[in-house]
Protein backbone atom coordinates (compact mmCIF):
# COMPACT_ATOMS: atom_id res chain seq x y z
CA UNK A 1 0.00 0.00 0.00
CA UNK A 2 1.30 3.46 -0.92
CA UNK A 3 1.84 5.74 2.06
CA UNK A 4 2.56 9.41 2.62
CA UNK A 5 4.09 11.44 5.46
CA UNK A 6 3.49 15.16 4.99
CA UNK A 7 4.32 16.65 8.38
CA UNK A 8 7.63 15.94 10.12
CA UNK A 9 10.09 18.11 12.01
CA UNK A 10 13.85 17.69 12.11
CA UNK A 11 16.81 19.05 14.05
CA UNK A 12 16.67 22.06 11.74
CA UNK A 13 13.78 23.38 13.88
CA UNK A 14 12.29 21.76 16.98
CA UNK A 15 12.58 18.07 16.12
CA UNK A 16 15.21 15.71 17.49
CA UNK A 17 15.53 13.56 14.35
CA UNK A 18 18.16 14.41 11.75
CA UNK A 19 17.16 14.45 8.08
CA UNK A 20 19.07 11.19 7.63
CA UNK A 21 17.15 9.56 10.48
CA UNK A 22 13.83 10.79 9.08
CA UNK A 23 14.53 9.31 5.65
CA UNK A 24 15.60 6.02 7.26
CA UNK A 25 12.42 5.85 9.37
CA UNK A 26 10.30 6.79 6.36
CA UNK A 27 11.80 3.96 4.34
CA UNK A 28 11.13 1.54 7.21
CA UNK A 29 7.51 2.74 7.31
CA UNK A 30 7.14 2.20 3.54
CA UNK A 31 6.59 5.91 2.84
CA UNK A 32 6.54 6.83 -0.86
CA UNK A 33 5.92 10.59 -0.51
CA UNK A 34 7.66 12.53 2.27
CA UNK A 35 7.81 16.18 3.30
CA UNK A 36 9.93 17.62 6.10
CA UNK A 37 8.05 20.68 7.33
CA UNK A 38 10.33 22.51 9.72
CA UNK A 39 9.29 25.83 11.22
CA UNK A 40 10.42 28.66 8.94
CA UNK A 41 13.31 26.58 7.57
CA UNK A 42 14.09 24.35 4.57
CA UNK A 43 17.64 23.22 5.33
CA UNK A 44 16.52 19.67 6.11
CA UNK A 45 14.91 19.34 2.67
CA UNK A 46 18.19 20.15 0.96
CA UNK A 47 20.15 17.77 3.18
CA UNK A 48 17.62 14.95 2.83
CA UNK A 49 17.08 15.18 -0.95
CA UNK A 50 19.95 12.92 -2.10
CA UNK A 51 19.22 10.49 0.75
CA UNK A 52 15.56 10.27 -0.25
CA UNK A 53 16.48 9.71 -3.89
CA UNK A 54 18.76 6.84 -2.85
CA UNK A 55 15.93 5.39 -0.75
CA UNK A 56 13.48 5.80 -3.69
CA UNK A 57 11.28 8.16 -1.69
CA UNK A 58 9.69 11.19 -3.35
CA UNK A 59 10.74 14.12 -1.17
CA UNK A 60 8.69 17.27 -1.73
CA UNK A 61 9.57 20.73 -0.46
CA UNK A 62 7.78 21.59 2.76
CA UNK A 63 7.69 24.24 5.47
CA UNK A 64 5.52 25.24 8.43
CA UNK A 65 5.20 29.00 8.70
CA UNK A 66 4.31 30.39 12.12
CA UNK A 67 2.03 33.38 11.91
CA UNK A 68 0.14 35.86 14.02
CA UNK A 69 -2.39 38.48 13.01
CA UNK A 70 -6.09 39.16 13.05
CA UNK A 71 -6.79 35.45 12.50
CA UNK A 72 -4.64 34.48 15.52
CA UNK A 73 -1.52 32.36 15.91
CA UNK A 74 -2.05 29.96 13.03
CA UNK A 75 0.44 27.64 11.38
CA UNK A 76 0.46 27.45 7.61
CA UNK A 77 2.01 24.49 5.81
CA UNK A 78 3.57 24.98 2.40
CA UNK A 79 4.29 22.29 -0.20
CA UNK A 80 5.69 22.04 -3.73
CA UNK A 81 7.19 25.56 -3.65
CA UNK A 82 10.53 26.41 -5.24
CA UNK A 83 13.04 25.99 -2.37
CA UNK A 84 15.42 28.40 -4.11
CA UNK A 85 12.85 31.12 -4.72
CA UNK A 86 14.32 34.49 -3.65
CA UNK A 87 11.17 35.44 -1.72
CA UNK A 88 11.28 32.23 0.32
CA UNK A 89 15.00 32.54 1.02
CA UNK A 90 14.55 36.18 2.04
CA UNK A 91 11.71 35.25 4.40
CA UNK A 92 13.72 32.45 6.02
CA UNK A 93 16.72 34.74 6.54
CA UNK A 94 14.51 37.42 8.10
CA UNK A 95 12.67 34.90 10.27
CA UNK A 96 15.87 33.38 11.68
CA UNK A 97 17.09 36.78 12.83
CA UNK A 98 13.64 37.75 14.09
CA UNK A 99 13.33 34.51 16.09
CA UNK A 100 16.65 35.15 17.84
CA UNK A 101 15.66 38.70 18.79
CA UNK A 102 12.26 37.44 19.92
CA UNK A 103 13.86 34.72 22.07
CA UNK A 104 16.18 37.27 23.69
CA UNK A 105 13.17 39.41 24.61
CA UNK A 106 11.41 36.38 26.12
CA UNK A 107 14.52 35.49 28.14
CA UNK A 108 14.69 39.09 29.42
CA UNK A 109 11.01 38.91 30.40
CA UNK A 110 11.63 35.60 32.19
CA UNK A 111 14.55 37.15 34.08
CA UNK A 112 12.26 39.96 35.22
CA UNK A 113 9.83 37.31 36.46
CA UNK A 114 12.57 35.62 38.50
CA UNK A 115 13.53 32.79 36.13
CA UNK A 116 17.32 32.72 35.92
CA UNK A 117 18.11 31.47 32.42
CA UNK A 118 20.29 32.91 29.67
CA UNK A 119 20.00 33.08 25.89
CA UNK A 120 23.00 30.74 25.74
CA UNK A 121 20.97 28.19 27.75
CA UNK A 122 18.32 28.36 25.06
CA UNK A 123 20.78 28.13 22.16
CA UNK A 124 22.07 24.79 23.43
CA UNK A 125 18.69 23.26 22.59
CA UNK A 126 18.69 24.67 19.04
CA UNK A 127 21.32 22.82 16.98
CA UNK A 128 20.50 24.94 13.93
CA UNK A 129 19.58 28.62 13.59
CA UNK A 130 15.84 28.30 14.26
CA UNK A 131 14.82 28.97 17.87
CA UNK A 132 11.30 28.10 18.98
CA UNK A 133 9.54 28.45 22.30
CA UNK A 134 9.97 24.76 23.12
CA UNK A 135 13.72 25.40 23.24
CA UNK A 136 13.07 28.06 25.87
CA UNK A 137 10.79 25.65 27.72
CA UNK A 138 13.58 23.05 27.68
CA UNK A 139 16.01 25.57 29.20
CA UNK A 140 13.49 26.27 31.97
CA UNK A 141 13.19 22.56 32.69
CA UNK A 142 16.98 22.19 32.78
CA UNK A 143 17.03 24.75 35.60
CA UNK A 144 14.29 22.73 37.40
CA UNK A 145 11.66 25.45 37.18
CA UNK A 146 9.27 22.98 35.52
CA UNK A 147 8.99 19.23 35.23
CA UNK A 148 7.91 19.13 31.59
CA UNK A 149 8.32 21.39 28.57
CA UNK A 150 4.55 21.27 28.07
CA UNK A 151 4.05 22.74 31.54
CA UNK A 152 6.64 25.47 30.93
CA UNK A 153 5.35 26.28 27.46
CA UNK A 154 1.68 26.59 28.35
CA UNK A 155 2.30 28.08 31.79
CA UNK A 156 4.51 30.95 30.66
CA UNK A 157 5.11 31.27 26.92
CA UNK A 158 1.79 31.28 25.07
CA UNK A 159 -0.35 34.33 24.41
CA UNK A 160 -1.94 35.60 27.61
CA UNK A 161 0.77 34.13 29.88
CA UNK A 162 3.35 36.20 31.82
CA UNK A 163 6.39 35.67 29.55
CA UNK A 164 4.63 35.95 26.20
CA UNK A 165 6.17 38.52 23.83
CA UNK A 166 4.57 39.65 20.58
CA UNK A 167 6.39 38.68 17.41
CA UNK A 168 7.29 40.56 14.27
CA UNK A 169 4.33 41.09 11.96
CA UNK A 170 3.67 38.10 9.69
CA UNK A 171 0.09 36.97 9.26
CA UNK A 172 -1.59 33.86 7.89
CA UNK A 173 -2.51 35.91 4.83
CA UNK A 174 1.17 36.83 4.38
CA UNK A 175 2.19 33.16 4.69
CA UNK A 176 -0.35 31.95 2.15
CA UNK A 177 0.66 34.64 -0.33
CA UNK A 178 4.37 33.83 0.16
CA UNK A 179 3.92 30.10 -0.46
CA UNK A 180 1.79 30.69 -3.53
CA UNK A 181 4.18 33.33 -4.90
CA UNK A 182 6.90 30.66 -4.73
CA UNK A 183 4.79 28.24 -6.75
CA UNK A 184 3.47 26.18 -3.84
CA UNK A 185 0.26 25.11 -2.15
CA UNK A 186 -0.74 26.51 1.27
CA UNK A 187 -2.60 24.43 3.89
CA UNK A 188 -3.97 25.34 7.30
CA UNK A 189 -2.10 23.12 9.76
CA UNK A 190 -3.87 21.02 12.44
CA UNK A 191 -7.03 23.19 12.70
CA UNK A 192 -8.49 21.00 15.44
CA UNK A 193 -5.63 21.67 17.85
CA UNK A 194 -5.85 25.45 18.31
CA UNK A 195 -7.04 26.77 21.65
CA UNK A 196 -9.25 29.32 19.92
CA UNK A 197 -11.87 29.01 17.20
CA UNK A 198 -10.47 29.26 13.69
CA UNK A 199 -11.99 32.12 11.73
CA UNK A 200 -13.03 30.06 8.74
CA UNK A 201 -14.25 32.97 6.63
CA UNK A 202 -10.95 34.82 7.02
CA UNK A 203 -8.94 31.74 6.09
CA UNK A 204 -11.05 31.22 2.98
CA UNK A 205 -10.74 34.90 2.06
CA UNK A 206 -6.94 34.61 2.25
CA UNK A 207 -7.02 32.04 -0.56
CA UNK A 208 -5.95 28.94 1.37
CA UNK A 209 -5.46 25.91 -0.91
CA UNK A 210 -6.13 23.15 1.58
CA UNK A 211 -6.66 21.89 5.11
CA UNK A 212 -4.56 19.45 7.16
CA UNK A 213 -7.51 17.21 7.98
CA UNK A 214 -5.52 14.21 9.22
CA UNK A 215 -3.24 14.89 12.22
CA UNK A 216 -2.06 12.97 15.28
CA UNK A 217 -3.89 15.32 17.65
CA UNK A 218 -7.17 15.35 15.75
CA UNK A 219 -10.09 13.45 17.19
CA UNK A 220 -12.51 11.65 14.91
CA UNK A 221 -14.88 14.59 15.23
CA UNK A 222 -12.10 16.98 14.10
CA UNK A 223 -11.34 14.84 11.07
CA UNK A 224 -15.03 14.61 10.17
CA UNK A 225 -15.65 18.35 10.59
CA UNK A 226 -12.60 19.58 8.68
CA UNK A 227 -12.94 17.01 5.91
CA UNK A 228 -16.49 18.18 5.33
CA UNK A 229 -15.33 21.80 5.45
CA UNK A 230 -12.61 21.12 2.87
CA UNK A 231 -14.93 19.28 0.52
CA UNK A 232 -17.67 21.90 0.84
CA UNK A 233 -15.21 24.66 -0.04
CA UNK A 234 -13.38 22.67 -2.73
CA UNK A 235 -10.12 22.67 -0.80
CA UNK A 236 -7.33 20.12 -0.97
CA UNK A 237 -6.67 17.75 1.95
CA UNK A 238 -3.36 16.91 3.62
CA UNK A 239 -2.27 15.00 6.68
CA UNK A 240 0.71 13.79 8.63
CA UNK A 241 1.99 12.66 12.00
CA UNK A 242 3.69 15.95 13.02
CA UNK A 243 6.47 13.76 14.39
CA UNK A 244 9.17 15.56 16.36
CA UNK A 245 10.92 12.37 17.47
CA UNK A 246 11.06 10.18 20.55
CA UNK A 247 10.77 11.75 24.00
CA UNK A 248 9.29 14.99 22.64
CA UNK A 249 5.82 16.44 23.14
CA UNK A 250 4.97 15.14 19.65
CA UNK A 251 6.53 11.68 19.84
CA UNK A 252 4.37 10.28 17.06
CA UNK A 253 5.74 7.64 14.72
CA UNK A 254 6.55 8.64 11.16
CA UNK A 255 3.84 7.27 8.89
CA UNK A 256 1.33 6.79 11.71
CA UNK A 257 -1.21 9.17 10.14
CA UNK A 258 -2.51 8.42 6.66
CA UNK A 259 -4.83 10.11 4.19
CA UNK A 260 -7.99 8.59 2.83
CA UNK A 261 -7.48 7.10 -0.65
CA UNK A 262 -9.24 9.93 -2.49
CA UNK A 263 -7.16 12.64 -0.77
CA UNK A 264 -3.96 10.68 -1.30
CA UNK A 265 -4.58 10.66 -5.04
CA UNK A 266 -3.76 14.38 -5.34
CA UNK A 267 -0.34 13.91 -3.76
CA UNK A 268 0.59 10.87 -5.81
CA UNK A 269 -0.54 12.52 -9.03
CA UNK A 270 1.26 15.77 -8.21
CA UNK A 271 4.50 13.89 -7.54
CA UNK A 272 4.05 11.85 -10.71
CA UNK A 273 3.52 15.00 -12.76
CA UNK A 274 6.77 16.49 -11.44
CA UNK A 275 8.88 13.49 -12.52
CATH number at residue 122: 1.10.150
Based on the domain organization, do 193 and 259 belong to the same domain? yes
> Do 27 and 55 contact (CB within 8 A), yes or no?
yes
Residue numbers of the domain that contains 199: 4-90+170-274
List phi, psi (to 5°) of 12. Answer: -75, -15
Q: In sequence order, which ranges of 17-62 are alpha helices (DSSP H)? A: 19-28, 43-54
Domains in the chain, number: 2
User: What is the DSSP code string of 234-268?
Assistant: T-EEEEE--B--TTSTT-PPTT-S---HHHHHHHH
Distance of CA 55 to the CA centre of its chain: 24
Check residue 275 and give its pLDDT: 56
Give dist(CA 132, CA 126) in Å, integer: 8
Q: Give the integer Cα–Cα distance in Å for 68 and 11.
A: 24
| Spatial distance between the Cα atoms of 209 and 198, rounded to a whole number of angstroms | 16
Task: Number of helices (H) and strands (E) in the chain: give both, helices first.
Answer: 10, 8
> What pLDDT, on the 0 to 100 scale, is given for residue 163?
97
DSSP string, 68-81: BSTT-S-EEEEES-
So what's the pLDDT on residue 166? 87
CATH classification at residue 266: 3.20.20.140
Q: What is the pLDDT of residue 168?
A: 78
The secondary structure of residue 159, as a DSSP letter, is: T
**Overall pTM > 0.85:** yes
Residues of the chain with pLDDT under 50: none
Q: Do 215 and 102 reside in the same domain of the chain?
A: no
Say yes or no: 80 and 177 in one domain: yes
Amino acid sequence: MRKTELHVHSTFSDGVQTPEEIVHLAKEANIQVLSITDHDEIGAYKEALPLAEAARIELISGIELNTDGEAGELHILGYFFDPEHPKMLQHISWRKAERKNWAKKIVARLNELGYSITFQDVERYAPQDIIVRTHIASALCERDYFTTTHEAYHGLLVKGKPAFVERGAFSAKDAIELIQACGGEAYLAHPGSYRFPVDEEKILSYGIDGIEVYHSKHRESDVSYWKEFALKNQLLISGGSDSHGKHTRNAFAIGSVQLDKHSQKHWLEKVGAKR
